[in-house]
Amino acid sequence: MNSLLRSCLLACAVLLPLWARAAEMPPLSAATIRLFEQADGPVLPFGRRVYGSHFDATLTRMIGVEIGATYPAPDETTLLPVVCTLTKPDGSKAVAGREMSFQLFAGETLSSSANVQWGVPDEEDWDPGDYGVDCAVEDQSVWQSRFTVVLNPPDIEDSDIRVAGLRFFPVHDELPAKADRQYTESFEAADTRRIGVELEFTHSPPGRTVTVPVACHYYWPDGQVMPPAEMRYEPGPTWPGGYSAANMGWDTAGKWPVGHYVVVCLIAGKPVVVNRFEVR
């Protein structure tokens, strides 16, 4: 066997497995991708996802990716591994921290998938700037998107105080101490009496006494709004951040209608943070 023929056969032997794998992947068309933010934990269900292309550098903790596509109906259900890569404002890249896949269902022609892909530690913020997202199957780019992270102005004038988070927790009698709060975004209607709301603030030591009045409005599933839960955040002169909390509800359980609720918190009449919880 001459050297030219040997080289050809070797090249064909290397290319054949690659061609075979590509041939196994059916064509994906009408590809869609949407981005959403959430706290750490399992991916939010469809009804809880808030999609966007602009995110707050301080408030945003994690960003999830939702992908969809159409395809020729397969005879068998197939699972395609998906690798999503994030391009940061400085040009560096980060592969997603969690595995993701796209499932093609037997006899179906459309499906979607989602997972939480990137985040920052609680003590850090996202770098402001433009980001790129590329999700690929077998090194073939299928879904692409871009988003922008913005460092918004402080929530309190003449300071660098910003709201960094909004969390919920059950309240049985008295407002529990912070260490005793059990944070959740899902409550059981039959057992829930009061639902607490906690705001986290971030700032440098103010060097003076500061009082920040906050009013949080609970919007019901039918659009009604409850009277606001009011609180005050009063950091000490040397505090590098802190928390404030209030609660809303009744002394007896069973009065929260089942559904999804939206809570909007305002400072000096300006909305500064929004989050959602569910009563089941």
Please check whether residue 154 is in contact with residue 261, taking contact to mean a CB–CB distance below 8 angstroms. Answer: no
Taking Cα atoms as reference points, which of 219, 211, 226, 221 lies closest to residue 267?
A: 211
Give a yes or no: residue 11 inside a domain. Answer: no
| Mean per-residue pLDDT over the chain, rounded | 88
Query: Residue 54: what are its φ and ψ, rounded to 5°?
Result: -130, 130
Instruction: Render pLDDT for 70-115 as a digit per residue (tens, 0 to 9).
Output: 999 999 999 999 999 999 999 999 989 899 999 999 999 999 999 9
Q: Element (H or E) spanning 7, and its range?
A: helix 3-24
Beta partners for 2?
Answer: none
Question: Greater confidence, 157 or 146?
Answer: 146
Whether residues 116 and 217 fall in one domain? no
Residues 146 and 176 in one domain: no
Half-sphere exposure of 193 (CA within 13 A, CB side): 8
Domain that holds residue 61: 27-150
In a domain, 84, yes or no: yes
Note whether 145 and 49 are same-domain residues: yes
**In sequence order, what are the beta bridge partners of 165?**
200
Q: Are residues 175 and 135 in the same domain?
A: no
Position 5 in a domain: no
Mean pLDDT in residue range 206-210: 89
The number of domains in the chain is: 2
125 in helix, strand or coil? coil
In 3D space, the residue among 17, 26, 18 whose CA is nearest the CA of residue 102 turns out to be 26
Confirm if 29 and 55 have CB atoms less than 8 A apart.
Answer: no
Cβ(67)–Cβ(51) below 8 Å: no
Q: What is the DSSP string of 53-91?
A: SEEETTT--EEEEEEEEE-PPPSS-EEEEEEEEEEPTTS
State phi, psi for 238 to the nearest 5 degrees.
Answer: -105, 5
Last residue of a domain, one of 94, 116, 150: 150
- Mean pLDDT value across residues 34-63: 88
Looking at residue 64, what is its pLDDT?
Answer: 95
R_g (Cα) of the chain, nearest Å: 24
When pLDDT is averaged across residues 155-170 and rounded to a whole number, the result is: 90
